[in-house]
């Protein structure tokens, strides 16, 4: 009888653990979905905010961009957008740590996914993008 009681206790504990893990994963999903990242060009002429999936949420251009050659404007837009996306990836890592833990299988998978999609810009690509948020 004692073995059956121990097995039931183990099953109850395991079920509670799985349920708690699912709740933490759901909380992570909600928190990540609400994240945004914002970056601005060094001269302040370009400001971009992206959402959790990297989509552009807000795009602001100063009149100074009219004086830029097309290639330079394209480079700045790309650099600022990538900097904003990298900010989202960094924020995801914080949210993972606070919910499921960065050392958990779920946490590692989420962080690796965001780091692969939105890597930190190298100096050349990120040149001209100032940090915000």
Q: For 118-129, what is each residue's pLDDT tens digit?
A: 998 875 444 445
Its pTM stands at 0.78
Q: State pLDDT tens for residues 52-67.
A: 999 999 999 999 999 9
Phi and psi torsions of 130, nearest 5°: -90, 155
Longest dimension (CA), the chain: 83
Question: Tokens at residue 48, please?
Answer: 């971009």
Task: Report the side by side order of strands in the sheet with 56-61.
Answer: 56-61, 46-51, 36-41, 129-131
Domains in the chain, ordered, with CATH?
A: 2-131 (3.30.1310.10)
């Amino acid at each position: 009888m004692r073995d059956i009681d121990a097995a039931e206790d183990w099953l109850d504990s395991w079920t509670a653990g799985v349920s708690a893990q699912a709740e933490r994963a759901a909380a992570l999903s909600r928190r990540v979905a609400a994240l945004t990242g914002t970056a601005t060009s060094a001269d302040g002429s370009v400001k971009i905010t992206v959402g959790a999936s990297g989509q552009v949420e807000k795009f602001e251009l100063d009149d100074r961009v009219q004086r830029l050659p097309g290639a330079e404007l394209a480079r700045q837009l790309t650099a600022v957008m990538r900097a904003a996306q990298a900010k989202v990836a960094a924020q995801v890592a914080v949210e993972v740590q606070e919910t499921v833990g960065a050392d958990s299988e779920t946490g590692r998978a989420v962080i690796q996914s965001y780091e692969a999609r939105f890597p930190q810009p190298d100096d050349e690509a990120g040149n001209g993008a100032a940090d915000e948020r």
